[in-house]
Amino acid sequence: MIRLIATDLDDTILPEGTFDLNPEYYEVIRELRRKGILFVASSGRHASSILRLFDCVKDDVVILAGNGSLVLYQGKVIDSRELDHALYLEVLEEMRKAGPSLILTDHPECVWTDTDREDMIHWIRDGYRVRLGQCEDIAKLPSPILKVAMLLEEDAVQEASVMRARIAGRANVMAAGARWVDVVANDADKGTALSKIQAIFGISREETAAFGDNGNDIGMLELAGTSYAVENARPQVKAVAGEVIGPMQEDAVLKILKRWV
């Protein structure tokens, strides 16, 4: 019996960097909760973006934000994993060498940037609807730092591999979406966060289902007895998932969720 469903957001249930979610999801989430099934919205997005996306069902959804660096439920923090500040500064220096379009730093309440590119600022605010702050230099931000992310012009997988080698196992580096590289604390991961949620609510791996499309979803899929990759997922994600379903564009996840209501 399924008691917990965790799903990635961007390119799994909605187009990356948008709020274009099929409104049917909200009623399905309500029905799942009535049946005692917990819904986990899992993303590299900042919590403020996820909370806005699921505002009408916010008390029925566990928010797994920042690729596992922050977990919220009904307004309370149930898990948080901070990036060491000295390491954050080192990561930031390495990211700047890559010449990204944008670098973002996640605090618990806000995402910060020091870019002066208005097109990037508007895209982040309007697309992700994140709570965004601007400052002179993100290197001067105080702790706690939950995540630092850079946006690239090309595929993030290669640069994530380069960054991973430079950081040498001291932080968790991952490609998130097609063009984002995210860096979080070494013990922060969607899988680690899902394990914490399972423990808090007394839910087993066999009672868990999960959906994903990208490499940062693999840890979460491995902790689910029932796991799915959407058709548009990366090959390594399809290899881990128990089943490959239709693409995000055809609401494949929604169709599976309806089986449990």
Distance CA 64, CA 41 (A): 6
> How much is the CA Rg of the chain, to the nearest whole Å?
17
pLDDT band at 154 (very low <50, low <70, confident <90, very high): confident
Where in the chain are all domains bearing CATH 3.40.50.1000?
Answer: 4-80+188-260
The CATH number of the structural domain formed by 85-185 is 3.30.1240.10
Helix locations, 172-251, DSSP H: 190-201, 218-222, 235-240
pLDDT tens for residues 203-233?
999 999 999 999 999 999 999 999 999 999 9
Homologous superfamily of the 4-80+188-260 domain (CATH): HAD superfamily/HAD-like (3.40.50.1000)
Q: What DSSP element (H or E) covers 202?
A: none
Average pLDDT (96-108) is: 92
Looking at every residue in the chain, the average pLDDT score rounds to: 95
Q: Looking at residues 198-207, what average pLDDT do you find?
A: 99
Q: pLDDT for 37-93, tens place per residue?
A: 999 999 999 999 999 999 999 999 999 999 999 999 999 999 999 999 999 999 999
Whether the model pTM is above 0.75: yes
Torsion of CA 248, 128, 6, 35, to 10 degrees: -100
